[in-house]
Structure 1
Amino acid sequence: MLSRIKLYVATLAKPILAAAAVVATLSSPASALVSIEVTGGDVRPLPIAIPYFTSQTGDQLGQQISQVVMDDLVGSGLFAAVDRSLYQPPVVGVEVVPMFADWRAIGAEALVTGSVVQAGGGQLRVEFRLWDPLQEQQVVGQQFTTTPDNWRRVAHIVADAIYERLTGEAGYFDTRMVFVAESGPKNARVKRLAIMDYDGANLSYLTDGKTLVLTPRFSPAGQYVTYMSYEGAQPQVFLLDLETGKRQLLSKQGNMSFAPRFSPDGSTVVMSLQEGGNANIFAMSLRGGAPRRLTSTPAIDTGPSYSPDGSRIVFESDRGGTQQLYVMNADGSNQQRISFGEGRYSTPVWSPKGDLIAFTKQAQGRFAIGVMRPDGSDERILTSGFHNEGPTWAPNGRVIAFFRDSGGPNGGPGIWTVNVTGRNERQLRLNTFASDPAWSPKR
């Protein structure tokens, strides 16, 4: 829990950069080290050295924390690890200024040193320094105190601080994902709600698998998850409190409810309610009251997702004969189609930055994950394959997670990530099949 970590800023240098695209530099604008354009382009990963943090705790926590920090940064695709076999001994802790020439000699353009010490009362103090070997100065330094069992989270917070300092964008490592864990034979899969750190660590189950569950979604504060369950006579939308484990049925209208998602302020859940052979979108206040109708068509309107300011909703509908994407005001007015490409569009989700809408597109027997502007312009496919589906945004709006089915009689879905440029596609290594991921906000 957040209250278990205390943050102290030891030193904070002046901002290194300011740019609309991601540009990382440790010295002057003329020596920019990483440049990313939203529409693509080559990326030069920043060579970074992260020696194992020194440790006075009599265990391997120093090595483990520094390795998670390195894995986070390198996994983003923006950083390249300098081979640790090239490091010049001795590696010192945060209290000693590094020999910058030694680090420049092995190509390090950023350097992180750190230490782990006992802080009393069973607590740990984790401290790090980010150094600029080119200008021979400290860029930022911070320290944290926490309980030993929380060391992985501290590592993610350290990585977020470094990422933000070097890219000018918020990090996304101190986050979680909720998803549907799948097990058993393909024709009789057991599906349970599960939650994990963004990198697949600390996986735990939220439901027992006795009933089918789908489409979990986080609340803006990360305390609640809404999802669809086949418990009872027909599928219904539930709300689960992650702190207490208590859950409640959200829709009590007697009709099937599905595809829920929270409003940005967390006060409302928007979802689809089935009415005969069609489905329309309704908004339900968590403060009580009857659902408020937003669409009214003899079609299937579903998959609603709010814009980050809460003023608009993107959704999918087959009202025109095929699944396409539409945008409307949050009160249901001004409904307009925005997708016009070949194929069927589904599972839209608005970026936390507000600039893009991610979607699944099915065309010519392939499933693709793509993005477009909220007006439907600048459509780009990020990845395409046998079966890709269900995009979800990292809270910084620069990375998308989705699930991909490997196919075959013994295959199943897994969770992948790709950045908004369509580069750095990676699979999360899990000991279970996994689908329907939803990324949490920053904790």
Structure 2
Amino acid sequence: MQKWMVLILVVLGLVSPLKAYAAPLKLTLTEGVIQPIPYAAPVFVAENRAAEDWSKKITALVVRDLNSSGLFRQVSKAKYISQITSFASPVQYSDWKAINVQALVTGAVKISSKDQLVVKFRSYDVFAGQELGDGLQFVGTKDRWRRIAHKVADSLYSRITGESGYFDSQIVYVAEKGPKNARQKNLSIMDADGENSRPLTDGKSLVLAPRFSPNGKQILYTSYETGFPRIYLLNLANNQRRVLENQRGTMSFAPRFSPDGGAVVYSVTKAGNTDIYRLVLGSGQSQRLTTAPSIETAPSFSPDGHQIVFESDRSGTQQLYIMPVAGGDPRRISFGKGRYGTPVWSPRGDMIAFTKQS
């Protein structure tokens, strides 16, 4: 644990005060349990009376986002020595260092003449005595206040960890409702913190396995509305959808987007055999990638789009394999006892997550 904390301090000291995005702090987590970074986030200064309530709400949501990551711990406000009364006030690093604050966040909120929220913030490495990057400002309508707060939290998370933030994102999922003997499953969407949930389908048909496109504008999912599983592509901007695979006598399922969003890999069951296919969305052309007399399913692209990991029982048991994106001889990567399935590559490409049944 101490090794991890020392790494944080050393790297923080190397960050250029005006180039945090060019050389972001890089955390290397080598243990399953970490010590969160102590930080302070005084309530953002309200620069006019109309902004007083908004500044409190926005600050509270930024803090909630950061704390929820498990990488940050807010230092109690009762310990504060310095008080932030102006966004332009110089930072008293010694006061914050005395209460063991490593990262400091200051901000300001005002309501503009156009009745819009104007939110600006700065972040500081207290131990190094310098600002982390330039201050940023977000402007938006009042009904978008939650998204503005999430964007502030994302920026802070990225500056301190070197990884992309995820607070200003959404989750697509299958929601169940109704009595036990007549359950309905709706394709639904919500913010990453569980707020603003809404249904995307009417619940009349079974839906499964929704997947976002890389740009977040489309969703792939499997529906049984025809009586057989079919893959649909839903456009979130206009709620229009289309079926991707509709061959007579087939079933299609387990879709995933390519990293660039231009293609989809999925499984098709035909004449009792299940294989993996790749479809180019622009042209609609599909290509069969596997031909073994076995079940191949749950495909997932590597982050560079050059390989596909999938599950297959071609060896007699359900195992994981990797093959080139255009197909070819697969390479087995799991050899332990039990059944391995639903593999997914990590965004960095250095790990593959999967499920295992003994």
TM-score > 0.5, shorter chain as reference: yes
Does structure 2 conserve the Cα–Cα contact (< 8 Å) formed by 1:312 and 1:330? yes
Q: 2:123 aligns with which of 125, 130, 133?
A: 130
Letter in 1 for 2:326: D
Does structure 1 conserve the Cα–Cα contact (< 8 Å) formed by 2:210 and 2:219? yes
Q: 1:329 aligns with which of 302, 324, 333?
A: 324
Identity score, percent = 49
Task: Tell which has more relative contact order, 1 or 2 (C-alpha 8 A, sep 6+).
Answer: 1
How has the CA–CA distance of structure 1 residues 264 and 27 changed in structure 2, closer, same or farther, with 3 Å as cutoff?
closer
How has the CA–CA distance of structure 1 residues 210 and 174 changed in structure 2, closer, same or farther, with 3 Å as cutoff?
same
- 1:35 deviates by 5.5
Does structure 2 conserve the Cα–Cα contact (< 8 Å) formed by 1:24 and 1:167? no
Q: Distance in 2 between matches of 1:351 and 1:27?
A: 26
Q: 2:34 aligns with which of 32, 40, 43?
A: 43
Q: 2:306 aligns with which of 308, 311, 328?
A: 311
How has the CA–CA distance of structure 1 residues 154 and 94 changed in structure 2, closer, same or farther, with 3 Å as cutoff?
same
- 1:355 deviates by 1.2
Q: 2:334 aligns with which of 314, 334, 339?
A: 339
How has the CA–CA distance of structure 1 residues 34 and 217 changed in structure 2, closer, same or farther, with 3 Å as cutoff?
closer
| Partner in structure 1 of residue 69 of structure 2 | 76
Bigger strand share: 1
Bigger helix share: 2
Q: Distance in 2 between matches of 1:273 and 1:26?
A: 49
The aligned length equals 340
TM-score when scaled to structure 2? Answer: 0.88
Q: Distance in 2 between matches of 1:161 and 1:24?
A: 20
- 1:87 deviates by 2.7
1:368-403: CA deviations, max 9, x gaps? xxxxxxxxxxxxxxxxxxxxxxxxxxxxxxxxxxxx
Letter in 2 for 1:316: E
- 1:170 deviates by 2.3
Does structure 1 conserve the Cα–Cα contact (< 8 Å) formed by 2:259 and 2:303? yes
Q: 2:104 aligns with which of 107, 111, 115?
A: 111
| Partner in structure 2 of residue 216 of structure 1 | 210
| Partner in structure 2 of residue 411 of structure 1 | none
Gaps of 5+ in 1: 1-18, 364-443
Q: Distance in 1 between matches of 2:208 and 2:122?
A: 43
| Partner in structure 1 of residue 356 of structure 2 | 361
- 1:58 deviates by 4.3
Does structure 2 conserve the Cα–Cα contact (< 8 Å) formed by 1:163 and 1:170? yes
List 4+ stretches of structure 1 deviating above 6 A: none
Q: How large is the Cα RMSD of the aligned pairs?
A: 2.4
Give the match's secondary structure for 2:328. coil
Q: Which has the larger radius of gyration?
A: 2
Q: Distance in 2 between matches of 1:165 and 1:50?
A: 15
Q: Distance in 2 between matches of 1:49 and 1:148?
A: 25
- Given the alignment of the two structures, is residue 170 of structure 1 paired with residue 170 of structure 2, yes or no? no
How has the CA–CA distance of structure 1 residues 165 and 58 changed in structure 2, closer, same or farther, with 3 Å as cutoff?
closer
Q: Distance in 2 between matches of 1:269 and 1:107?
A: 49
Letter in 1 for 2:108: S
